[in-house]
A and B are shown apart, each in its own frame.
Chain A
């Protein structure tokens, strides 16, 4: 236990050291943690200065310089490489990530940018819950096939959609092997009072494609994505690969150590899409998977159960 603690401290130190090399592009992963840790004292945030010193600044100052131009949106936040680590051993399908995400993105009822699947790798293994945001692949199939460049890959690793350019051909949805994308089949009902930006993905536009955007607009103001903060079990770790830090809002860990020590994997690595979302295997679970059914409405329970029923009779 003691060992663990000291290694955690080491993590943080290293994280800070690593962060010092990366220039502050509208906030740091660490500043995001501090915000979550002292929700009461929200006026001050801890930030790394360009010369590597940890300092407290007023929240207002931490916010970056207004709405980025469309060129900046396509370029991304310099020096960043966003990653996410999802710890499957802690997930119990509480679906707080789903509802928080839908709320902040003003999604239509039924639409989900994050889907939680019930997976079972083979007959003899135990089922587990598998939350799945967009993987923000480094070799994104969706970006390759887009005829108009409406969906694009940024330098900071994020894959975004420009809904003002999207023609709604849905080719990206066919190309994405992970079913990460949703379509706005009808006029969006909820109208947020903000101007459209591909970084925030709101307001939605009819006849165009939407998906999880890793919330780069929140990052710019020093906040973690809502799925990370909403999760009651700390399943999601969001961070920066260059800074080598990921955090779930409670603890921050060194990304490289975490994925090594916990044998993280990327879903369907063999597809060659090089996702930026890593999964920690569902071992030593915090909850039995049955817990995931407890709060579900009946029709959703049913949908989870009919999984692969079709194939049962063929024994595959």
Chain B
């Protein structure tokens, strides 16, 4: 059998896992649609009545919408960093999981910016950014960076898909409707495994993975600078950009592990996504957890030791149990130590514990973003002496929560749609004989 035939066989095999939507996935689909519809109702309410329906007020001007925005852009790092770096280093075991990682990237970069629109008072004037945009504003940097990032991550995902689409197009066994076949033919873009085509495609992929890494770093740095550029306690910090970047890779990797677990379990991909993958990605998570913990420690130690009054005001809100203490310790200690224990200690380390550690990390990273935004906004430089309690403390309303749930539902829904049209395992890649090339020595 030649390589093409092996690939075709694998393709048929993998497609059999995704054959028909199960009862569970049909139910899930309806459930997600319901959540999204409810979120849409909340959205209509916000548009018609104004942001008075949210918990945001004059002091806490940004709430969980911004938290979700940072969170989704953060998890987009799964594809950009993990897939990009592993691709550049020609790590062989990356192949079965990079498609999942890249899907996470594209979907979360699609969803994240929705929350920017939601936190805008006049989303109908969004185009003003292009009409009157001023390059001096970090928000404009952000818009440019995210649009570029979205474009590049879609391209990255698509380039890697071309070979698989060509396989599907050439396959005779699979039963695919003629309409879908037509789409696949278009998407395969006349690719026929000709050596020159293969070489060019590889070169494109390498270039894209080299571009997407710095781009991802820029996107999250710019995001951090929206906060870092303001003279506010808790935000005005020089390490904010790298801190955000590390936090993003950390949460992105954790989401990748969760996604791997889900796909492995429900589509029975044990053959492709093995314990080895969990362990290796788990090691990456371990290192990132350590780095993230180190950044947290460095940030808060510096500020606390320096003891500026305004900074202390925020710090003590975070340290004090009557305020945000419990959440802070959860995010700073549990969110770091649990993933580290489950990935670092051999007898605790298995597929399930690594996934549990990742779930803890993801939840704690969401809380951490909340703790970055809300306590600082609740601590203006001049005292907040407003007599209206809702102007002093922020509490997200049901509108904000349902739109948050809507975003998560949309994330899952997009995933369900994506796997209908894209092989979740890069078939063409995994059916290749391992390259076994030493990247560094080759370059030398």
Contacts and interface: CB of A to CB of B under 8 A. Distances in A.
Contact of A186 (B50, B138, B320, B377): B50
B62 A174 contact: yes
Contacts of B131: 148
Given A141-B231, A170-B62, A311-B313, A148 B385 contact: no
A174 B377 contact: yes
A287 B232 CA distance: 34
A146 B134 contact: yes
Given A184-B121, A186-B49, A268-B381, A145 B229 contact: yes
A117 B383 contact: yes
Interface stretch (B51-59, B156-164, B282-290, B422-430): B51-59
A271 interface: yes
A316 B309 contact: yes
Interface in A171-200: 171, 173-175, 177-179, 181-187
A147 B134 contact: yes
B387 A300 contact: yes
Interface in A215-244: none
Interface string B120-158: 111101101101111011111001000000000000000
A166 B387 CA distance: 28
Contacts of B52: 185-186
Nearest to B307: A316
Given A146-B134, A167-B126, A207-B51, A271 B231 contact: yes
B323 A310 contact: yes
Nearest to A170: B61
Interface residues of B, number: 53
Contacts of B120: 167-169, 207
A310 B310 CA distance: 13
A71 to B, nearest CB: 14
Interface string B57-74: 111011000000000000
Given A167-B121, A208-B121, A178 B383 contact: no
B132 A145 contact: no
Q: Main secondary structure on chain B at its contact with chain A?
A: loop
Interface in B194-253: 226-227, 229-232
Contacts of B230: 141, 145, 174-175
A206 B61 CA distance: 15
B313 A304 contact: no
B111 to A, nearest CB: 19
Interface in B29-83: 49-52, 56-59, 61-62
B121 A144 contact: no
A115 B383 CA distance: 11
A129 to B, nearest CB: 11
A147 B50 contact: no
A147 B222 CA distance: 14
B380 interface: yes
Contact of A177 (B134, B137, B381, B386): B381
Contacts of B380: 177, 179
A166 B383 contact: no
A267 B131 CA distance: 36
Contact of B382 (A132, A146, A185, A208): A132
A308 interface: yes
A9 interface: no
Contacts of B395: none
A110 interface: yes
A307 B143 CA distance: 38
B398 interface: no
Contacts of B300: none
Nearest to A146: B137
B387 A145 contact: no
A78 interface: no
Nearest to B377: A174
Contacts of A181: 58
A230 to B, nearest CB: 21
B152 to A, nearest CB: 22
Given A170-B62, A173-B58, A165 B121 contact: no
A303 interface: yes
Given A179-B380, A185-B51, A314-B312, A149 B134 contact: yes
A144 B309 contact: no
Contacts of B231: 141, 175, 177, 271
A207 B316 contact: no
B382 A179 contact: yes
Nearest to A304: B385
A194 to B, nearest CB: 21
B317 interface: yes
A10 interface: no
Given A148-B129, A167-B128, A186-B50, A316 B121 contact: no
Contact of B383 (A141, A165, A186, A307): A307
A295 interface: no
B61 A314 contact: no
Contact of A178 (B125, B132, B133, B381): B381
A185 B50 contact: yes
Contacts of A316: 307, 309, 312-313, 316
Contacts of A173: 58, 61
Contact of A308 (B57, B323, B383): B383
B50 A184 contact: yes
A123 interface: no
Interface in A125-181: 132, 141, 144-150, 165-171, 173-175, 177-179, 181
A167 B125 contact: yes
A183 B122 contact: no
A110 B388 contact: yes
- The residue in A181, A182, A208, A316 that gathers the most chain B C-beta atoms within 10 A of its C-beta is A316
A31 B288 CA distance: 67
B211 to A, nearest CB: 25
A171 B49 contact: no
A295 B380 CA distance: 26
Contacts of A308: 383
10 contacts: A148-B133, A149-B132, A167-B125, A171-B139, A183-B61, A184-B50, A186-B49, A310-B320, A314-B312, A316-B307
Interface of A: 110, 115, 117-119, 132, 141, 144-150, 165-171, 173-175, 177-179, 181-187, 206-209, 268, 271, 297, 299-300, 302-304, 307-308, 310-311, 314, 316
Given A174-B227, A175-B229, 18 more contacts: A110-B388, A118-B383, A149-B134, A165-B125, A168-B51, A168-B121, A170-B61, A170-B121, A171-B139, A174-B62, A177-B232, A179-B58, A179-B59, A182-B58, A186-B49, A186-B51, A187-B50, A311-B312
Task: In the A-B complex, list the 3 residue pairs whose CB atoms are closest, starting with the nearest.
Answer: A168-B121, A207-B121, A303-B387
